[in-house]
Structure 1
Amino acid sequence: MPKSMTGFAKVEMEYADGKVYGEARALNNRYLEINIKLPRIDYTGEQKAREIVRRYVKRGKADITIKWDRTSTAYGTARINEDVVRQYIGLVETLKQDYGLTGGLTVENILGFKDVIAYEESNGFAEDVLLAAVESLLARLDEDRTREGELIRADLSKRLEEIARSLGEIEERQPLTAKIHEERLREKMVEVTKSSSIDEVRVLQELALYVERLDITEEIVRLKGHLDNFRSTLDTTGPMGRKLDFIIQEMVRETNTIGSKSNDLPINERVIKIKVEIEKIREQVQNVE
């Protein structure tokens, strides 16, 4: 089952220390790119969160944001940055010694200086709470991408049927084109020789050359095989976007060969229809993980 690379999800989880809010956006991307914003947490916790994302997202760009609204007891504490205070005191002593200045610092002066008061933020939530929020968020994102993938699958299946229908009409038309060519060949030979009797051997030779040069049986068979491969791939699980893209390239190659070999207008009209459907399929596959 194909899964879309695009999706959106939100979660809200309530705990004794406050509420956790999560938001996830998934976008198309050739490779896997993860941008994750968490409340202040150590490196190990962030890596664990990334591993959760990788379990759900195999390809595309994933933007994950986790925030919280904390209760009053969950806020951090203020403290004096002693290193900064020492630096300011040292600067004052230097001014006195180098320039003969007098005076001294007061508590009010020191508290007014930049970075004297440091604010230590408290996480308020344990690591397992944050990771649980990430897990819940990615599960919902996965559901959204799966729903979108079902719509993509339905559209792709419909277009594959359109291609198969046009290809069947080409296959049905092919023997008639040989007969038409034979009749035209006979008419031209009659016109050239000005006689109702023509060389049957020559006609058969020319017809054999035509069939050999313009026969599209192999291309039809291979294109049918690519359609079957495409359908069976849609029934598998896991990432399939790149494989589908490769199959499309082969479908384009066979279709172009059929068009270049055929000099029959009805066949060429159906080749154009097939190309249009393949292009629409290519656009959809760009959304598939």
Structure 2
Amino acid sequence: MVIIMLRSMTGYGRAQYDSAEYKITVEMKTVNSRYLEINVRLPKKYSFLEKNFKEVVQGKIHRGRVDVWIGIEEMNRSGYNVKVDKELAMDYYNSLKELANFLDISPQISIYELCRLEGVIILEEPEPDQEKIWKNVLIPLEEALDQLIEMREREGANLKADLEKRNENILHMIEEIEKNIQK
């Protein structure tokens, strides 16, 4: 007797991992596709992780289109450096004053408005520790992947039961037809 394990092509998994440094959310879904196609969406800063994600997913899923979404929120902002481009701010200020004079309106420029202009405030982010972030991301990735696979297996079991029931109905109809033919 051969036991066949059916898996549905559709599935979903979601996991979240919170540490002192990161809050990481991984969501995955799969849909029917003849070949394996993996699409990873994550913050640009962490694009170096994409290859690792694909390798882990390929280790457990062999067919279908897999969409993976990763959200990474840093809980500790130490190491960030905020700079002000004073020359650019002064250029903006002078240009806005000049425009106000040209339009014959009162130049009321607040520091808040000036800081919102492109390039005045510069946030320098530290380079992420690739090994540390990968270790943190791997935890919810594997959990979401396990949930997705479990869902595909449950759906596969439902499909198998449905197919077996339909097969029994067909066999029963064949028996009825054969009885009627013999009469």
Assess same fold via TM > 0.5: yes
- Percent identity between the aligned chains? 31
Q: Does 1:152 align with 2:156?
A: no
SS at match of 2:82: strand
How far 1:116 sits from its partner (Å)?
5.0
Q: CA deviation at 1:154?
A: 0.8
Give the alignment's TM-score, normalised by structure 1: 0.45
Change in 2 beyond 3 A, CA 1:72/1:43: closer
Question: Retained in 1: the 8 A contact 2:31–2:64?
Answer: yes
The equivalent position to 1:45 in structure 2, one of 43, 49, 73, is 49
Q: Tell me: higher relative CO, structure 1 or 2? Use CA pairs within 8 A at least 6 residues apart.
A: 2
Aligned to 2:61: 57
Give the structure 2 partner of residue 30 of structure 1: 34
Separation (CA, whole Å) in 2 of partners of 1:72 and 1:40: 19
- Trace 1:57-96 onto structure 2 (pairs within 5 A): 57-73=61-77, 76-79=80-83
Report the CA distance shift for 1:120/1:167 in structure 2 as closer, same or farther (over 3 A): farther
One-letter amino acid matched to 1:168: E
The secondary structure found in structure 1 opposite 2:29 is strand
* 1:76–1:127 CA distance, 2 compared to 1 (3 A): farther
Structure (1 or 2) with the greater helix fraction: 1
Whether 2:169 is the aligned partner of 1:162: answer yes
Query: 1:155/1:111 Cα in 2 relative to 1: closer, same or farther (>3 Å)?
Result: closer
Are 2:22 and 1:15 aligned? no
Distance in 2 between residues matched to 1:173 and 1:74, nearest whole Å = 83
1:143: how far off? Answer: 1.1
- Radius of gyration: which is bigger? 1
In structure 2, what residue type is equivalent to 1:25? K
SS in structure 2 of the partner of residue 2 of structure 1: coil
Q: Which residue of 1 aligns with 2:9?
A: 5
CA contact (8 A) 1:48 1:131 kept: no
Comparing 54-63 and 153-162, the one that deviates more: 54-63
User: Which amino acid in 2 is paired with 1:157?
Assistant: E
Aligned length: 154
SS at match of 1:73: coil
- Please give the alpha-carbon distance, in whole angstroms, between the structure 2 residues aligned to 1:112 and 1:170: 80
Q: CA deviation at 1:140?
A: 1.4
Cα contact 2:33–2:65 (8 A) shared by 1: yes
Normalization by structure 2: what TM-score?
Answer: 0.67
Whose strand fraction is larger, Structure 1's or Structure 2's? Answer: 2
Query: Which runs of no fewer than 5 residues in structure 2 stay unpaired?
Result: 92-110
3-state SS, counterpart of residue 77 of structure 2: helix
1:17/1:74 contact within 8 Å kept: no
Gaps of 5+ in 1: 89-107, 177-289
8 Å contact from structure 2 (residues 13, 144) kept in 1: yes
Structure 1: which amino acid aligns with 2:63?
R
2:77 & 2:156 partners in 1: Cα distance? Answer: 44
